[in-house]
Structure 1
């Protein structure tokens, strides 16, 4: 098998991963990512369709995989597995317990699909890698996982919140973005103040994810920063 064919097979696999990762992927995105022409991407998509992968084109939007279609587990190289082990140490530095729990559970699933030799080496690295600040790390919140869910599903959230002046108030908020700078911060539209506000998850005393939905905010995070900062 010559280099060009090997390269194409690698690209087809990578396109499959992109399709599994995102609901909609455009030909322009894929062409830019793999440094090929859109015509090449069209040929690649056709090759995937001919091999039985249920790829659908949504007119004016891009490509999507059939709902429920599962791709066999991705095989990680040893270097990729090692990168995930190091990332795990950084996640352990998080002050939110729910985020740490969800990540570690995801890592267990990832480790389960590693080849035996890669798994053994990854465990050696795990045993011999420590980020000093993770020793006896205290968690000061347990809300991040539920807030992430509310953000992606457009659920309103009712919170009892203590601000930096130690004043408690009840708010109904529309989660928009999650940021980290030493502490976690939630950017949300506050219906009480009628504007975007920053909230620290560790200052949320009580939280209820409501079944009521809100209208998604039609802007990217960068557009938010450009407009409000």
Structure 2
């Protein structure tokens, strides 16, 4: 698919969403919104009609969708849903109450269209993630998405981990929670080597492999963990 085809497909999808959101839209409004000519919008509307979308033209007023027509709910992959949950944690730290309120309401709407399985996992991740501002740290990692997946799917995970003494060992871990501290991301996990819960800095994980084996979910909340181990 060429770049122009990709742009057109994105525009057609956006036009469809706009039509579902608003009662009436004129060709001029759409042309201005997407920075294209009115002639292009005419072609786009025709393409939607040919694809079976019931676009109605009200003479002199604009375009509208047939009453009762709805596009299917937006589908998110697990990783996309997890990214949204993480973004929610970041937004909740914002000091502007109205911004937090608007974003939280938007996330609630997004959660409403998630499949039950993904929704349950997204809620679990929200309960098991804590974020604090990180103003000075330059530490980076590439494993957050994989660890979110392992946490919500109770997947045993093998990591190569380098400690403060720069010694690297292989660990089998059961991911439990993700914490963002002033120093960067930390993973709380049951370490089968040490037979206890341990903290792992994500920037010290050299390799990570999610195994097909599942572990039994730990019967406590993140607050229970803090109460017990702090």
Common fold by TM > 0.5: no
Is the radius of gyration larger for structure 1 or structure 2?
Answer: 2
Which TM-score tier does this pair reach, normalised by the shorter chain?
Answer: 0.3 to 0.5
TM-score, normalised with respect to structure 1: 0.42
TM-score, normalised with respect to structure 2: 0.42
